[in-house]
Amino acid sequence: MKLLLKAARVIDPSQKIDARMDILIEEGKIAGCNSNIKASQDVKVIDLTGMIVAPGLIDMHVHLREPGLEYKETIASGSAAAVAGGFTSIACMPNTEPVNDNRSVTEFIRRKAAEANLANVYPIGAISIGSEGRQLTEFWDLKEAGILALSDDGKPVMDAALMRRALEYASSLDLPVIQHCEDKNLSAGGLMNEGYYATVLGLPGIPAIAEDVMVARDILIAEYTRTRIHIAHVSTAGAVRLIRNAKARGLNVTAETAPHYFTLTDESLQDYDTNYKVSPPLRSAADVAAIKEGLADGTLDVIACDHAPHARTDKEVEFEYALNGISGLETSLGLSLNLVQEGVLPLPELIGKMSCNPARILNLPKGALIKGADADITVIHPDRSWTVNVKAFRSRGKNSPFSGRQMQGCAVLTIVGGDIKYDGLASKT
Amino acid sequence: MMKLGKKDILGIRDMSIAEINLILETAESFLEISTREIKKVPTLRGKSVINLFYEASTRTRTSFEIAGKRLSADTINISASTSSVVKGETLIDTARNLEAMNPDIIVIRHSAAGAPHLLASLLRQSIINAGDGAHEHPSQALLDMMTIKEKKGKIAGLKVALIGDILHSRVARSNIYGLTKMGAQVVVAGPATMMPRDINQMGVRAYTKLEDAIADADVVMMLRIQLERQKQNIFPSLREYAQHYCLNRTNIKLAKPDAIVMHPGPMNRGVEISPDIADDPGCSVILDQVNNGVAVRMALFYLLSGGNE
């Protein structure tokens, strides 16, 4: 099918394009990107006046739960959530059961993703076998099977020597290593950010330094080994400062944050609502301000939602026993657009943090609207107001603290490889 | 008489001064019942109270049970262990099953902070928090305030020192909320490892030395030290703790001459409080606290059941 996207504001930060243009899609590729492309007979024309056309959004940090935890999410349901949220590509963390620490699991994920045939799904392989932090996985074999990054997300590599070896070995394959930075000794037993609200609620605290110490350590290891490191879901002012400083010194450090870390503070936990329980925990207002500064000045390269779907049984328990995580794919863009409305980021920069920046970090040939590229495109309605309704989530995980929240702006068309995978254009505004 | 405008008693933090006064005054009027030869009034006949205890407790559970019985309510005690709960039935399912049996009030103690709030949000019954993790223990703070008022004639303007493991203490939190609301000056002391972060934002002054906190205090409240905290390196040994944080004949002289000494129990004699202080009728009001505890819990049952309707 040939598609012509007419008269939208095209924003492609990778080429510094921000102009009213048409985009022609043929055979799954971008065939042209110009003003006033004439439509031939066999082309389906979509008038996108007032809309924004962006390179397909990429979320480099999601949990799809399959294999093993299909009651929370499947690769199919997670992919459906992705395209509904405007994401054409997602990278899924290896903490499934079994852990994605070998070729067979990677191949299984890719097969399931192909069957779902919605978003591009890129598996992330485990750094250590079983993510247990002892023995490295076979990076070459995993890469051949299709992983595009390594991480022991959720079970950070505590052993500094193992981290050193992982960064060195991965650098010989040019595989990015993503670290969930948390010193498990400092965070042990903690349930929320350590501070006034933890004191008031009587919940054991997770100090900001649990994150900062690990960020500092990993920056030092990356510097020494002359390798690169990507810091996942930054939540603290201290981590932002450390990363900013590392970048200023020319180190190859990149970082992401998640929408909840620039939207919510630990004050939200006052009713012990387990939907606010995430790892790292929601931090203080000062941390939220620092995250926004980090996004604005480029310290934080990427917004990734850390999509962590859970079933009711995982959340409808005492706060202490509830599992961490927010089902985020279907609210990520809406919350991120709020940064533009607040004046934190210009829209092209926001789109860059959700398309070409993650593509660059993951070595993906995506995130640009250039002729011949895969036609992965997200069309955004910048003004449409909508209300978050978790019951309508495509994700099996309805665990969202944003339920009922008013949003402005959302994806209305998600095109993956030239095919429309989500069409919300006709929905009521 | 005014009514309590609440379905549940979850904490002192969300309680108004008027509500605290109402509960204390009601409790004072109930004190006399426990001195009668026939210690029973028919006020709550036909009502049932379930004591759902997920943590071991002797004093608090017995106190709630006696309070219910003295008002002629039927009281049922359930002891559950959280370990079986994690693997077996959820708290919500347990509570819904209890709800289906139509009790009027459920008293819950749980090691997880917020567990009573979970029940309160789901059940139509009144929930009383009998201690949730390190969060709150409202009936304890109320009985403490009642005891202070009884012995000192007032709460406002008094200096109250809380000594010990503030970080893990629900008694400390509830008392800090209650006493500061009622106009007392609250100070806390303990090693820095036992101080919750940003405690000063709760309106108290924090010290690391016991002596600094109890200087000129009208009330000294000692908190129980839990041995298992030693494993978390909150403190190195009971021996060293006792040397620096035990209330004794010498350091109590720093407090006002008529200072009273309180302890929520159970006491570790010789650790946080020396036996001769604990047993000194001239300053120790520890058993008065226990006596007042029954009256406070009677007042809570009474007020939650509709008061003087």
pLDDT for residue B88 is more than 80: no
B8 vs A: CB within 8 A? no
Across chain B, mean pLDDT equals: 94
Pairs of residues, one from chain A and one from chain B, whose beta carbons lie less than 8 Å apart = 69
| Cβ–Cβ contact B201 with A under 8 A | yes
Q: Is the pLDDT of residue B82 over 70?
A: no
Q: How far is CA B215 from CA B164, B207, B209, in A?
A: 16, 11, 11
A306 is catalytic: yes
* pTM of structure: 0.94
User: Is the model's pLDDT at B307 over the cut of 80?
Assistant: no
Residue with tokens 């993503």: A178
Smallest CA-to-CA distance from A218 within A270, A257, A183 is with: A183
User: CB within 8 A of B200, min separation 6: which ones?
Assistant: B206
Cross-chain residue pair B132–A202, CB shorter than 8 Å: yes
CB distance A202–B173 less than 8 Å? yes
Residue A212 has pLDDT above 90, yes or no: yes
Q: How far is CA A133 from CA A87, A102, A407, in A?
A: 31, 15, 40
Residue A1 pLDDT grade (very low, low, confident, very high; cuts 50, 70, 90): confident
Put simply, whether A323 touches B (Cβ < 8 Å) is no
A202 Cβ under 8 Å from any chain B Cβ: yes
Spatial distance between the Cα atoms of B26 and A295, rounded to a whole number of angstroms: 56
pLDDT score, position B230: 82
What would the pLDDT profile of A285-336 be if each residue is shown by its tens digit? 999 999 999 999 999 999 999 999 999 999 999 999 999 999 999 999 999 9
State the average pLDDT over residues B139-152.
Answer: 98
Q: Check if the beta carbon of residue B292 is closer than 8 Å to that of residue B150.
A: yes
Complex-level ipTM = 0.93
Q: How far apart are the first and last CA of chain B?
A: 10
Q: How many whole angstroms separate alpha carbon B40 and alpha carbon B286?
A: 25
**A153, A287, A306, A314: which is the annotated catalytic residue?**
A306
pLDDT at A429: 47
pLDDT tens digits, one per residue of A67-79: 999 999 999 999 9
Which of A200, A275, A312 to mutate to test binding with chain B, by most B CBs within 10 Å of its CB?
Answer: A200
CB A58 within 8 A of CB A88: yes
Whole-angstrom distance, CA of residue B264 vs CA of residue B171: 8
**A27 close to A381: Cβ distance less than 8 angstroms:** no
Whether B83 has a pLDDT exceeding 60, the answer reads no
Task: For residue range B198-224, list pLDDT tens digits in order.
Answer: 999 999 999 999 999 999 999 999 999
Q: Which of B226, B227, B87, B256 is nearest to B166 (CA)?
A: B226
- In angstroms, rounded to a whole number, what is the distance separating the alpha carbons of residues B215 and A357? 60
DSSP character string of A211-272? HHHHHHHHHHHHHHHT--EEE-S---HHHHHHHHHHHHTT--EEEEE-HHHHH--GGGGGG-
Peptide bond into A13 cis (omega under 30): no
pLDDT number for residue A427: 79
Q: What is the mean pLDDT of chain A?
A: 97
Q: Is the pLDDT of residue B69 over 60?
A: yes
Residues contacting residue A237 through CB under 8 Å, at least 6 positions apart: A208, A283, A286, A287, A289, A290, A291
Which ranges constitute the DSSP H helices of A274-418?
Answer: 285-296, 312-315, 332-341, 347-353, 356-361
Question: Two tokens at A367?
Answer: 């995130």
Q: Which residues of A touch B197 (CB under 8 A)?
A: 194-196, 198-199, 205, 207
A117-127, pLDDT tens digit by residue? 999 999 999 99
Q: Which helix (H) or strand (E) holds A203?
A: none
Can you give the pLDDT at residue B309?
45
Alpha-carbon gap, residue A56 to A389, rounded angstroms: 24
Q: Hunting for tokens 């909508």 — which residue is that?
A: A386
| Strand A229-231 versus strand B105-110 pairing type | unpaired
Report, as an integer, the average pLDDT of B299-305.
96
Question: How do residues B219-256 score in pLDDT, each as one tens digit?
Answer: 999 999 988 888 888 999 999 999 999 999 999 999 99
Least confident of A365-379, B6-20, B36-50, B223-237: B223-237
Structure letter (DSSP) for residue A273 = -
Report CA-CA distances (Å) from B214 to B39, B245, B281, B284.
Answer: 39, 11, 19, 15
Q: Please name the member of B114, B134, B201 whose beta carbon is closest to the beta carbon of A272.
A: B114
Distances in Å between the Cα of A139 and the Cα atoms of A129, A150, B258 are: 11, 8, 73
Q: What is the mean pLDDT of residues A154-160?
A: 96
Q: A353: which residues sit within 8 A by CB, 6+ positions away?
A: A295, A300, A301, A302, A303, A336, A345
pLDDT > 70 in chain A, percent: 100
Contacts of A189 in chain B (CB under 8 A): 232
Q: Does A98 touch chain B (CB under 8 A)?
A: no
Please confirm whether the linkage preceding A382 is cis (ω < 30° from 0): no
Asked if residue B151 lies in contact with residue B285, where contact means CB atoms within 8 angstroms, the answer is yes
The percentage of chain A sitting over the pLDDT mark of 90, rounded to a whole number, equals: 97
Per-residue pLDDT, A428: 57
For residue B105, the one-letter residue type is I
Phi, then psi, of A421 in degrees rounded to 5: -105, -15
Distances (CA, A) of B290 to B59, B105, B151: 8, 22, 14
Domains present along chain A, CATH in parentheses: 3-53+373-383+390-423 (2.30.40.10), 57-361 (3.20.20.140)
> Residue A318 in contact with residue B118, Cβ under 8 Å?
yes
Per-residue buried b or exposed e for A221-241, using 16+ beta carbons within 10 Å of the residue's own CB? bbbebebbbbbbbbbbbbbbb
Residues B8-26, mean pLDDT to the nearest whole number: 97
Are the C-beta atoms of residues A207 and A181 closer than 8 Å to each other?
A: no
- Cβ <8 Å between B86 and A204: no
Q: What is the pLDDT of residues A35-73, one digit of tens each?
A: 888 888 899 999 999 999 999 999 999 999 999 999 999
Cβ neighbors of A265 (< 8 A, separation 6 or more) are A282, A283, A284, A285, A287, A288
Rounded to whole angstroms, the Cα distance separating A214 from A223 reads 14
Cis peptide before B281 (omega within 30 of 0): no
* pLDDT for residue A276 is more than 70: yes
**A202 to chain B: closest CA residue:** B135
